[in-house]
């Protein structure tokens, strides 16, 4: 048996589908999450029942792709029963679809969902009375709380065994004889659901009218009689009006509403969240808080305060949180850096070399002080330790040893939950690498290299960021599930309209923060081809989960790593800004077309469901582990081989500089040379990492680790790091996403999209690097160039707005 | 490296590549979790 779930958008079909089938299909608290039908099975009735989750629809007219999918399924594939999910909190509007489903020759069960919300608000819906009026069973349900689910299935199973003839609520209308006339013809033709089809012909449904022109002709003269009525002979309007009149007149007594004059909780929250002026800044603040909680090493901004930036005494702030003063912490960091440097540079001789360096600097300081006629600073130079020296002398010692004082940047903040989790995970995976090294100590070099430098290092690099990324997705899932993200689409509509996109396009783009592939597929809901192409083009700019390990790694490497959260936040914002500028450019130089209006029902806010959130995270985790065990492992092994063997690989292992990968990487290095991040002897490694990102974006980090670059050993300036990040953000996404883009774009649009991604990544990265370079070296010129850039973008805005006005005026 | 070490190395590498090879040659009609690496369901998967 096959049952179909049909209902309005966001009425809870997918939640019911998941509860029935045990699936973990993506549930979002916004309309339009399900674009295509989805199948699963229910096995608790003794017989296996196939369940089909149809996309949310308001009617059975063939206007939107979702309506077409749902209608074709019910008409052509004839399910044994249609379970019509009705949002009981919005009964009147939801019943509009029900009245159409009743016209089909298919058993129908109405499932009154969200009954828990109805009861909680003190309202009542009389299911028995409603069932009598509709002529089909009505069952109360709360899909979210798993209440009444089995009852719905039992009832559906019962009615599925019966043959049901469609009936209409339009029977009392004066134009019903037209419907009867066409219905008889359909019966003669042996068509299924003749009543439904007859009503559609009378309504002037394009698809059916084209198929049965003789039936259109049959009622043409009868229709003429209505051309002077209030609807000007528009039968679609007349039918819709008749349905609503019937619903209002007949169902009012099945609902008992407590007359509440006060605003609902959602309305109150929306007064702030969707405020004309504050909505977008609020969205930015909320996103910043999320990134701060996930990526900040300085949760309470102690670092900032300690340097006097906030005007509060740094000493006090640090004392409160750490019990130490800033100077003490700096001293500790400085001695650590010096000791580490000597150990790295001199190995066993480190202590001797360090002691002689201490003596040299201490002597020099004493001599200089004596020359000035002051007292000497160090009495017992032979027993002098680093900790006993003054900060300025330690700085001199570091410079004397070939180090850089700028690198001493103690992070003294309390880590955010994300960083805390990451350091623990890093600790665990680090121990696994140590264990691997211990086990493979006596193995041949190639085998221990494959295990430790290849597999373990590569997997460690991505797995150590896993908890942080799961935390990020937990926050995004909370925002989605609570209903806030639907508001974001709504508040973005006005801004998007100026860019040739509607707020509806923002939903696939938001999904892009998870994975570009389903996001691109969700563009099916957009009616205009140019809007679909444009949305697909912009989707990868909304940084997906697979790119998150790259940002997490670079966040640690950004100079002054307490800026990690700001770095990651700025990358996500940069993606949105470049998406907007891309849309502006395409609009400025392409044809301007107006997009259809965006109408969306804002779902009520509700507390995120723990089960939903965990299902979200579980899916992410499964996906991550699955990917790591397949495509990422494969890439790591290949990269390890290519980086440890030369072209004459039969001659055995070679140094990384003479490897196959190095020679290939050096060619690529020159292509990326203007972008800055491939400068220097290690530059080729970054170019190789960028290319392996095409397989899966996590491979960027895994490749770097296999080539010996970790978050602690990245030797790039901030400008280079930004250029590298932006190139990876905007360039071609992974192959799976390119496949999705090919499937859902127009042919011409797809090729333009590929070129756009390649061009955009190169140009944006180029601008960012040189701007950063100027900021680092010639600040004034950097500021002038930045201002010129901003001015160009503003001019672009003005130009496209004028162009749009002209088109609208015409 | 001796010849048998090369042989062993290639065998190990091939074993590590097998899950990926299987993933791309898997029966397209099969149900279950998505196998293209994306998060779309099997039916919609662009790699199928």
Region A146-171 average pLDDT? 91
Quick check: A308 contacting B, CB < 8 Å? no
Quick check: B11 contacting A, CB < 8 Å? no
pLDDT at residue A183, as a whole number: 93
Q: Which domains does chain A have, with CATH numbers?
A: 2-160 (3.40.50.300), 176-256 (1.10.287), 326-407 (no CATH), 433-593+611-810 (no CATH)
- Give the count of domains, chain B: 1
- Provide CB contacts within 8 A for A611, sequence distance 6+: none
Quick check: A596 contacting B, CB < 8 Å? no
Q: Is the pLDDT of residue A575 over 90?
A: yes
**Distance between CA atoms of residues A245 and A247, nearest Å:** 5
pLDDT at residue A724, as a whole number: 96
Q: Is the pLDDT of residue A315 over 60?
A: no
In terms of Cβ atoms closer than 10 Å to its own Cβ (0-12, 13-18, 19+), residue A342 is: buried
Q: Compute the half-sphere exposure of residue A213: CA atoms within 13 Å on the CB side of its CA.
A: 1
In terms of Cβ atoms closer than 10 Å to its own Cβ (0-12, 13-18, 19+), residue A151 is: middle
A344 to A339, A347, A351, A718: CA distances (angstroms):
9, 6, 11, 24
For residues A333 and A155, which has the higher predicted lDDT (pLDDT)? A155
* Six-digit token string for A612: 């939903």
Task: Give the pLDDT confidence of A598-649 residue by residue, as tens digits.
Answer: 777 788 888 888 888 898 888 888 888 888 888 889 989 999 999 999 999 8
CA angle A481, A485, A486 (to 5 degrees): 100
Confidence of residue A769 (pLDDT cuts 50, 70, 90): very high
Quick check: B37 contacting A, CB < 8 Å? yes
Q: Is the pLDDT of residue A762 over 70?
A: yes
| Chain A residues within an 8 Å CB radius of B17 | 634, 637-638
Chain A, window 519-538: residues with a beta carbon less than 8 angstroms from a chain B beta carbon? 521
**Distance between CA atoms of residues A698 and A707, nearest Å:** 15
Instruction: Answer yes or no: do B37 and A631 touch at CB < 8 A.
Output: yes
A257 to A140, A261, A459: CA distances (angstroms):
17, 11, 58
| Chain A residues within an 8 Å CB radius of B37 | 623, 626-627, 630-631, 696, 734, 736
Quick check: A736 contacting B, CB < 8 Å? yes
Evaluate whether ipTM surpasses 0.85. Answer: no
pLDDT at residue A316, as a whole number: 52
Give the closest-approach CA distance of B42 to chain A in angstroms: 10
Q: Is the pLDDT of residue B32 over 50?
A: no
Q: Is the pLDDT of residue B27 over 50?
A: no
For residues A66 and A621, which has the higher predicted lDDT (pLDDT)? A621
Quick check: B10 contacting A, CB < 8 Å? no
- A78-117 as b/e, with b when 16 or more CB fall inside 10 Å? ebbbbbbbbbbbebeebbbbbbbbbbbbbbbbbbbbbbbb
> Chains A, B: CB contacts under 8 A, how many?
82
For residues A145 and A683, which has the higher predicted lDDT (pLDDT)? A683
Confidence of residue B42 (pLDDT cuts 50, 70, 90): very low
| Chain B residues within an 8 Å CB radius of A743 | 46
Q: Is the pLDDT of residue A62 over 80?
A: no
Nearest to B39 among A444, A517, A696 (CB): A517
Specify the range with the lowest mean pLDDT, choosing from A12-26, A38-52, A710-724, B17-31: B17-31
Expressed as residue numbers, the domain containing B19 is 3-44
Q: Is the pLDDT of residue A734 over 50?
A: yes
E strand or H helix that includes residue A703: helix A698-706
β-bridge partners, A84: A6, A110
Provide the phi-psi class of A12: left if phi over 0, else alpha when psi is between -120 and 50, else beta: left
Disruptive mutation site among B11, B18, B19, B38 for chain A (greatest number of A CBs within 10 Å) = B38
* Six-digit token string for A213: 């022109």
Asked if residues A85 and A7 have their Cβ atoms less than 8 Å apart, the reply is yes
Asked if residues A83 and A136 have their Cβ atoms less than 8 Å apart, the reply is no
Disruptive mutation site among B10, B39, B42, B45 for chain A (greatest number of A CBs within 10 Å) = B39
Q: What are the φ and ψ backbone dihedral angles of A427, each rounded to 5 degrees?
A: -65, -45
A91 to A95, A127, A251: CA distances (angstroms):
6, 11, 9
Disruptive mutation site among A52, A525, A736 for chain B (greatest number of B CBs within 10 Å) = A736
Q: Is the pLDDT of residue A318 over 60?
A: no
Task: Give the pLDDT confidence of A166-207 residue by residue, as tens digits.
Answer: 999 999 888 999 999 999 999 999 888 899 999 999 998 888
Q: Is the pLDDT of residue B30 over 50?
A: no
Disruptive mutation site among A27, A52, A637, A694 for chain B (greatest number of B CBs within 10 Å) = A637
**Distance between CA atoms of residues A508 and A793, nearest Å:** 25
Nearest to A630 among B19, B39, B46 (CB): B19
Instruction: Answer yes or no: do A734 and B37 touch at CB < 8 A.
Output: yes
Longest dimension (CA), chain B: 48
Q: What percent of chain A has pLDDT over 90?
A: 34
Asked if residues A549 and A462 have their Cβ atoms less than 8 Å apart, the reply is yes
Task: Give the pLDDT confidence of A779-800 residue by residue, as tens digits.
Answer: 888 899 989 999 998 888 888 8
* Six-digit token string for A759: 């061009």
Average pLDDT, chain A: 85
Task: Give the pLDDT confidence of A324-368 residue by residue, as tens digits.
Answer: 566 777 788 888 889 888 888 888 888 889 999 999 999 999 999
Asked if residues A508 and A519 have their Cβ atoms less than 8 Å apart, the reply is yes
pLDDT at residue A82, as a whole number: 95
- Provide CB contacts within 8 A for A431, sequence distance 6+: none
Confidence of residue A25 (pLDDT cuts 50, 70, 90): low
For residues A624 and A252, which has the higher predicted lDDT (pLDDT)? A624
Confidence of residue A412 (pLDDT cuts 50, 70, 90): low
Nearest to B17 among A514, A637, A739 (CB): A637
A704 closest CA partner among A726, A725, A720, A689: A689
Nearest to B13 among A622, A637, A739 (CB): A637
């Amino acid at each position: 048996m096959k049952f179909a779930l049909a209902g309005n958008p966001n009425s809870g079909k997918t939640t019911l589908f998941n509860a029935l089938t045990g699936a973990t299909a993506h549930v979002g608290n916004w309309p339009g999450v399900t674009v295509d039908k989805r199948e699963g099975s229910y096995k608790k009735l003794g017989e296996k029942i196939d369940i089909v989750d149809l996309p949310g629809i308001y009617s059975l007219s063939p206007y939107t792709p979702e309506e077409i999918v749902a209608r074709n399924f019910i008409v052509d594939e004839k399910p044994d029963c249609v379970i019509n999910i009705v949002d009981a909190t919005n009964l009147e509007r939801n019943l509009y679809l029900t009245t159409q489903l009743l016209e089909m020759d298919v058993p129908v069960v109405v499932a009154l969902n969200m009954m828990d919300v109805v009861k909680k608000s003190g309202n009542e819906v009389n299911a028995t009375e409603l069932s009598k009026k509709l002529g089909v069973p009505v069952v109360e349900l709360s899909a979210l709380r798993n209440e009444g689910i089995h009852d719905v299935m039992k009832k559906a199973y019962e009615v599925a065994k019966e043959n049901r003839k469609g009936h209409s609520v339009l029977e009392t209308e004066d134009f019903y004889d037209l419907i009867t006339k066409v219905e008889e013809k359909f019966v003669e033709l042996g068509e299924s659901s003749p009543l439904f089809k007859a009503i559609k012909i009378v309504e002037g449904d394009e698809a059916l009218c084209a198929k049965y022109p003789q039936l259109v002709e049959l009622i043409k003269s009868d229709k003429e009689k209505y051309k002077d009525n209030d609807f000007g002979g528009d039968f679609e309007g007349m039918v819709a009006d008749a349905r609503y009149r019937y619903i209002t007149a007949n169902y009012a007594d099945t609902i008992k509403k407590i007359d509440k004059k006060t605003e609902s909780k959602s309305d109150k929250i929306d007064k702030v969240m969707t405020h004309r002026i504050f909505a977008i800044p609020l969205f930015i603040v909320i996103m910043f808080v999320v990134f701060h909680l996930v990526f900040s090493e300085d949760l309470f901004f102690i670092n900032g305060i300690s340097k006097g930036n906030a005007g509060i005494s740094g000493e006090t702030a640090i004392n409160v949180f750490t019990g130490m003063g800033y100077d003490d912490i700096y001293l500790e960091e400085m001695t650590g850096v010096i000791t580490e440097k000597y150990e790295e540079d001199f190995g066993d001789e480190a202590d001797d070399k360090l002691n002689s360096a201490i003596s040299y600097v201490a002597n020099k300081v004493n001599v200089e002080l004596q020359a000035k006629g002051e007292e000497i600073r160090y009495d017992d130079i032979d027993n002098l330790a680093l900790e006993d020296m003054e900060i300025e002398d330690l700085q001199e010692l570091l410079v004397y040893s070939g180090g850089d004082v700028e690198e001493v940047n103690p992070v003294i903040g309390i880590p955010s939950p994300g960083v805390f989790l990451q350091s623990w995970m890093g600790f665990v995976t680090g121990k696994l690498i140590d264990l691997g090294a211990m086990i493979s100590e006596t193995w041949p070099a190639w085998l221990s290299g494959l295990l430790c430098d290849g597999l373990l290092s590569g997997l460690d690099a991505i797995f150590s960021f896993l908890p942080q990324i799961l935390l990020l997705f937990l926050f995004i899932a909370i925002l989605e599930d609570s209903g806030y993200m639907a508001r974001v689409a709504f508040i973005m509509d006005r801004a998007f309209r100026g860019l040739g996109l509607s707020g509806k396009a923002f939903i696939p783009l938001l999904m892009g923060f998870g994975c570009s592939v389903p996001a691109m597929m969700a563009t099916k809901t957009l009616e205009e081809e140019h809007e679909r192409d444009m949305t697909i083009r912009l989707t990868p700019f909304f940084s997906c989960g697979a790119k998150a390990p790259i940002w997490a790694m670079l966040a640690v490497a950004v100079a002054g790593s307490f800026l990690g959260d700001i770095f990651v936040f700025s990358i996500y914002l940069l993606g949105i800004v470049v998406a907007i500028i891309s849309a502006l450019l395409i609009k400025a130089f392409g044809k301007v077309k107006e997009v259809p209006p965006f109408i969306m029902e804002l779902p009520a806010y509700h507390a995120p469901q723990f089960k939903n959130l965990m299902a979200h995270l579980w899916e992410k985790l499964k996906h991550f582990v699955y990917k790591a065990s397949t495509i990422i492992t494969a890439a790591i092994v290949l990269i390890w081989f290519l980086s440890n063997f030369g072209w004459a690989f039969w001659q055995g292992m070679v140094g990384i500089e003479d490897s196959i990968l190095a020679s290939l990487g050096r060619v690529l290095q020159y292509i990326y040379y203007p972008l800055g991040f491939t400068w220097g002897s290690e530059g080729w490694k970054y170019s190789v990492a960028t290319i392996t990102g095409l397989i899966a974006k996590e491979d960027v980090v895994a490749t770097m680790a296999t080539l010996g670059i970790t978050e602690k050993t990245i030797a790039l300036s901030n400008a280079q790091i930004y250029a590298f990040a932006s190139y990876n953000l905007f360039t071609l996404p992974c192959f799976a996403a390119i496949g999705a883009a090919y499937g859902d774009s127009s042919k011409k649009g797809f090729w333009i999209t590929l070129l756009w991604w390649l061009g955009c990544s190169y140009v944006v990265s180029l601008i960012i690097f040189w701007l950063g370079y100027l900021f680092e070296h010639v600040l004034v010129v950097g500021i002038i160039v930045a201002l010129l850039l901003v001015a160009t973008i503003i001019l672009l805005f003005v130009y496209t707005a004028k162009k749009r006005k002209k088109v609208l005026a015409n | 490296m001796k010849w048998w070490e090369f042989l062993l190395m290639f065998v190990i590498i091939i074993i590590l590549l097998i899950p990926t090879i299987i993933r791309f040659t898997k029966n397209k009609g099969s149900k279950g979790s998505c196998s293209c690496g994306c998060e779309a369901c099997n039916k919609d998967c662009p790699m199928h």
